[in-house]
Homo-oligomer: A and B are copies of this chain.
Amino acid sequence: MSRAARRKLELRREIIDAAFECFAEKGYHATGIADIAARLGIGHGTFYRYFTNKRDIVEHVITDLIERIIGTLAAENAPDAVHTLEDYRAQTVRIGDALAQVFGEDPRVPRMLLLEAPGIDKEMGARILEFFELATSLTATYVAHGVQDGYLPDDLDVDNTARAINGMILGSVLAALSDPTLDERRLRTAIQRVMYDGIAGRS
């Protein structure tokens, strides 16, 4: 790959990042192409050499975020890597840590994904919902494996249980967004207790 081509890719990357920052900080509609270009010190005409549209760039921003999150989840874990409830629980903790990493490190990530993106337009709203569904089906894979492997009850409603679990995760992300001083570790612990013992059971 030529030097020029590499530079081009690099700038493309920088534009996506700058756009993400602008959108997350000022909101999609309040951000102008000029703002994004200004943040990089490039002319705003240049922007259009890399992206066709304002809509185009936000698409890439979101795609990027989603891929990064899915990647994080897929990286360290696999549904079929565990075979006992004990191991599963440990895996749950690891996944929770990974998610906390992604969402907690930079609050602009959940802000963009959960607050800004859904309202951009119908299509983007649908994409975010699809992302939730994807996450749910990912979770469902784990649950289904547990049922199949026998360490989870076989009358468990796999999909809906996955929805419940993902809801708790979503809730924790939003709670952290509401209150940045929140003790996330305790929240994660509480979620896991609900997951494994229900609210009424002994810890």
Considering the complex, which residues of chain A in the window 123-137 have a beta carbon less than 8 Å from any beta carbon of chain B?
125, 128-130, 132-133, 136
Q: Which single member of B29, B167, B175 contacts A172 (CB below 8 Å)?
A: B167
Query: In the complex, how many residues of chain A place their beta carbon closer than 8 angstroms to a beta carbon of chain B?
Result: 64
Considering the complex, which residues of chain A in the window 110-140 have a beta carbon less than 8 Å from any beta carbon of chain B?
111, 114-122, 125, 128-130, 132-133, 136
Separation of A128 and B121 alpha carbons in the complex (Å)? 18
Contact B121 A118 (CB under 8 A): no
Chain A interface (Cβ within 8 Å of chain B)? Answer: 27-30, 85, 111, 114-122, 125, 128-130, 132-133, 136, 143, 146, 151-157, 160-161, 163-172, 174-175, 177-179, 186-187, 189-191, 193-203
